[in-house]
A and B are shown apart, each in its own frame.
Chain A
Amino acid sequence: MQSKRTRKKLGREKLQRIIEMCDSVEGHSLDPFLLEVDEVISIIKEYFPEWKLPEDLCLDAETVHHLASVIKLQSEWVKHRSTSLYTDPFLLEEKLIQAENAEIVEIFLKAWHPIVELEQISIHSLAEAIRYWKDLLPLDERWKTISPEKIETGFATREELIRERILRDRAFSEELENLWRELKKTVEEKGEDDKIRYWDFVGAETYEETVHRAFMASFLITYGYATLEIHPLEEERFIKPYEKPLVKFGKKQLVSIPIAVTTEDWMKWKRGELR
């Protein structure tokens, strides 16, 4: 008696072979009637109760899909044969090879009714064209070169640059260290087991501020000031500060963890629905 595993393996192989054969038929390299549709259906039916895994079910669906394409080709073949246009290609090829060019032309001329078409300019369209030409501006007037406006250069103060968001009012490293200190303090006050929920730390009054805090928190983690703890089953994320920044480059493979900070999530956090 075949084991269930062997039977499944055999079933998969059979379906693969059917798909390959259908592919050959679809590629017009095989006669569509070489495929015994009834037999294929019985094989698909026989193994269908065995399939539990999504991959096996996909294979089953793919086989049915290919089989449907072959049945369509069979139906097209029957339809073509039943029309008056059907002719044996070999017989026709023979006729074409044996007939002289002049004879083929004589036959073709009896079935050819060329289209009558004219390409001629009329006096009306000439007059129209002259009118257009008269009104058309010369190229140098239509394609004028636009020279950029000259602007005097000047000096910008540090305050102006901060206002334009070119410079920040604090150095990046300073801001990062401030956030690290804030994280440690928040963990001490509100955290459990030396860590705090990610959203409870990055979440702020405004969405813009939240995004900025999430952006800075990502640098805290990358530069070894803190770490992320993820519990995938519970869908919980914690951020845990280190007492001293860790130097871990080169020792361990770093991984990137994308965390979406969407307005929906921020709203949920504000309502206390997101943990």
Chain B
Amino acid sequence: MSKRKAYYTNKIKRAVHLLLYKRHRKPGAKGWELRKALGSDYPKVLKILDKYLQALDLQVKTIFEEEKPAEKPTLEQLDKARFYITLRGELTPKEAKMIGWRIDDLAGLATTIAYIISKKGKTSRKEVEELLRDKLPGWKVGINIDRYIRYGYLTQDENEQLYLDWRTHAEVDQKALIDLLLGAEA
């Protein structure tokens, strides 16, 4: 093995440990943490790792602190961003059940996320509860919303307004979801 290859192999191993093992409340790692552990060429390490993960249907996902920069991100923007390893492709409904989601709960989550997006990213909990009550038993609605909040898909302020939280930004392709919903035949 060439010296250069060995160098990157070691760095990739270290990056996988940092990105997969949960060390804080949130999974993944911040850019500055990766820079500290892997060195200033961490964006290159992540690029090689992403290429390697492609074969496993996984990817390195970058979530920027603010809106996604239109051009190549600066080092400062990368340092502030959070990196995760996510599924690259899609799960089948059967697989979704295997990872602990009942179909109704997942449908409730999808409905809530889509509804909040249509309301410009903010809506009252009461409105969401009314919408979910149409398809879910009343006793389950509150429990489900609390679960979505606990997992980090939603957040709620003191006025009971719901917003999308970090996990939705990391896991859900919001534009694709809306396009698919609107394109679906009712």
Contact = CB atoms under 8 A, between A and B. Distances in A.
Q: Say whether A and B bind each other.
A: yes
Interface of A: 76-77, 80, 84-85, 87-89, 91-99, 101-120
Interface in B61-109: 61, 84-93, 96, 99, 103-104, 106-107, 109
Given A111-B174, A112-B172, A96 B85 contact: no
Contacts of A77: 120
Contacts of A96: 111, 114-115, 131, 181
B115 A93 contact: yes
Contacts of A87: 117-118, 178, 182
Contact of A102 (B20, B93, B172): B93
Interface string B121-149: 00000000001001100000000000000
B69 to A, nearest CB: 16
Interface centre among B86, B107, B113, B170 (most CB of A within 10 A): B107
A99 B114 CA distance: 13
Interface of B: 20-22, 27-28, 58-59, 61, 84-93, 96, 99, 103-104, 106-107, 109-111, 113-115, 117-120, 131, 134-135, 167, 170-178, 180-182, 184, 186
A107 B104 contact: no
A172 B16 CA distance: 78
B93 A92 contact: no
Contacts of A108: 106-107, 109-110, 113, 172, 177
Contacts of B103: 101-102, 105
A119 B119 CA distance: 35
Interface centre among A80, A97, A118 (most CB of B within 10 A): A118
9 contacts: A85-B175, A89-B119, A95-B186, A98-B186, A102-B107, A111-B177, A112-B173, A113-B61, A118-B22
Given A89-B119, A114-B99, A118-B22, 4 more contacts: A85-B175, A95-B186, A104-B107, A113-B173
B61 A103 contact: no
A81 B103 CA distance: 32
A167 B186 CA distance: 90
A117 B176 CA distance: 24
Contacts of B115: 89, 92-93, 96
B122 to A, nearest CB: 8
Contacts, number: 136
Contact of A91 (B88, B175, B182): B182
A109 B90 CA distance: 6
Contacts of A98: 186
Contacts of A84: 175
Contacts of B61: 113, 115
A99 B108 CA distance: 12
Contacts of A110: 90, 176, 180
A104 B174 CA distance: 14
Given A105-B103, A115-B170, A99 B186 contact: yes
B85 A115 contact: yes
Nearest 7 Cβ contacts at the A-B interface: A108-B110, A101-B107, A117-B27, A111-B177, A89-B118, A98-B186, A111-B176
Given A93-B118, A96-B114, A109 B177 contact: no
B104 A116 contact: no
A117 B93 contact: no
A84 B171 CA distance: 19
A85 B110 CA distance: 16
Contacts of B90: 109-110, 112-113
A115 B91 CA distance: 12
A116 B118 CA distance: 28
A107 B86 CA distance: 18
A115 B99 CA distance: 12
Contacts of A99: 181, 184, 186
Contacts of A114: 86-87, 91, 99, 171
B110 A104 contact: yes
B11 to A, nearest CB: 19
A120 B58 CA distance: 20
